[in-house]
């Protein structure tokens, strides 16, 4: 009888201990769990209510972590600034991407009159040139130059997040701008001089004769810049 009593006491003790333990966990972890959810949702205050049709982790994943024991983001020791969203930086990145997308599109469009200007140069200079050929070449060159300036504007004015270090193919792409940039200023000036000389019936001479070599170098640097960000070398 004494043994039975002891066994019953022991069983009740176990059950009581179990109940108290689970109750203690629930009562202790209740607020902790809710704060954990707030903390594990990065930048809750900055989120524009993400289009989540999914409930919290523990609610519907078959073997989702239980809210009572699951570790939280704060347990991992990340600095608070690393886990909190920054709407300002996001807006800056959005603006940057928007401007660089325009830069990319305009750069591709610029390629068309630029290539056409190169091909039309055959009818603008040399022995078989004509005034029509020169005018076509001038018009294509002018369009290419204008589009180039607008393209460059979007690259130069695109904001850059602080602390960004330039690495990779973009370094070459930017380096090429130091060649095709001055080239795109110099080429039309030399072209205008050559046009004037040719229109006066003169042979192209002096610095104006550098128009074609400068244009070739400029177009080459432009093409290399374009390819450097398009293909992996």
Partner 1 sequence: MNKKILVALLLLLPTFAWADGQWVLEQCTLTYHAAHPLHESQGVSHAARGKGVCHAGQCDFLIAVPVKSFDSGDSNRDLHMLQVTRGAQFPMVVVRTRLAESDLTAATIHADLEVEFAGQTARYKQVPFQLVTQGNQTRMSGTIPATLADFKIEPPSLLTIPIKNDIPVRVEMTWHPL
Encoded one letter per residue, x for contact with partner 1 by CB under 8 A and - for no contact, window 52-71 reads: x-x--x---xxxxxx-xxxx
Q: Are 145 and 106 in contact (CB under 8 A)?
A: no
Q: Does residue number 200 form part of the binding site for partner 1 (CB under 8 A)?
A: no
DSSP state letter for 226: H
DSSP state letter for 218: H
| Percent composition of the chain: helix, strand, coil (DSSP 3-state, to 5) | 75, 0, 25
> Nearer Cβ to partner 1, position 18 or 30?
18
Q: Does residue number 45 form part of the binding site for partner 1 (CB under 8 A)?
A: no
Tell me the backbone φ, ψ of residue 88, rounded to 5 degrees: -65, -45
What minimum distance in Å lies between the beta carbon of 213 and partner 1?
Answer: 29
Question: Binding segment for partner 1 among 51-59, 118-126, 184-192, 204-212 (CB under 8 A)?
Answer: 51-59
Q: How many CA atoms lie within 13 A of 101 on its CB side?
A: 6
DSSP state letter for 204: P
Q: Does residue number 24 form part of the binding site for partner 1 (CB under 8 A)?
A: no
Task: Give dist(CA 187, CA 183) in Å, integer.
Answer: 6
Q: How many CA atoms lie within 13 A of 202 on its CB side?
A: 11
Q: Does residue number 32 form part of the binding site for partner 1 (CB under 8 A)?
A: no
Task: Give dist(CA 204, CA 210) in Å, integer.
Answer: 9
Q: Does residue number 23 form part of the binding site for partner 1 (CB under 8 A)?
A: no
# chain residues binding partner 1, by CB under 8 A: 68
Q: Does residue number 210 form part of the binding site for partner 1 (CB under 8 A)?
A: no
Task: Give dist(CA 141, CA 118) in Å, integer.
Answer: 8
> Nearer Cβ to partner 1, position 94 or 202?
94
What minimum distance in Å lies between the beta carbon of 78 and partner 1?
Answer: 7
Residues of this chain that bind partner 1 (CB under 8 A): 3, 6, 9-11, 13-14, 17-18, 21, 40-43, 46-47, 50-52, 54, 57, 61-66, 68-73, 75-78, 82-87, 89-90, 92-94, 96-97, 100, 104-105, 108, 160-161, 164-170, 173, 229-232
């Amino acid at each position: 009888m004494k043994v039975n009593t002891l066994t019953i006491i022991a069983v009740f003790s176990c059950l009581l201990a179990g109940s108290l333990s689970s109750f203690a966990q629930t009562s202790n972890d209740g607020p902790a769990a809710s704060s954990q959810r707030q903390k594990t949702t990065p930048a809750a205050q900055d989120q524009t209510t993400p289009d989540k049709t999914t409930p919290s982790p523990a609610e519907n994943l078959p073997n989702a972590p239980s809210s009572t024991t699951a570790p939280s983001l704060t347990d991992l020791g990340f600095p608070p600034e690393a886990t909190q969203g920054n709407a300002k930086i996001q807006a800056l990145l959005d603006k940057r991407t928007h401007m660089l997308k325009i830069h990319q599109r305009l750069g591709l469009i610029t390629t068309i009159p630029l290539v056409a200007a190169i091909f039309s140069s055959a009818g603008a200079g040399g022995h078989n040139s004509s005034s029509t050929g020169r005018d076509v070449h001038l018009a294509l060159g002018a369009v290419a130059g204008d589009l180039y300036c607008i393209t460059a504007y979007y690259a130069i004015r695109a904001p850059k997040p602080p602390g960004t270090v330039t690495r990779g193919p973009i370094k070459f792409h930017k380096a090429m701008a130091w060649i095709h940039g001055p080239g795109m200023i110099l080429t039309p000036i030399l072209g205008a001089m050559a046009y004037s000389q040719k229109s006066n019936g003169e042979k192209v001479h002096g610095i104006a004769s550098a128009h074609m070599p400068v244009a070739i170098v400029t177009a080459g640097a432009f093409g290399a810049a374009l390819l450097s960000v398009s293909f992996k070398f």
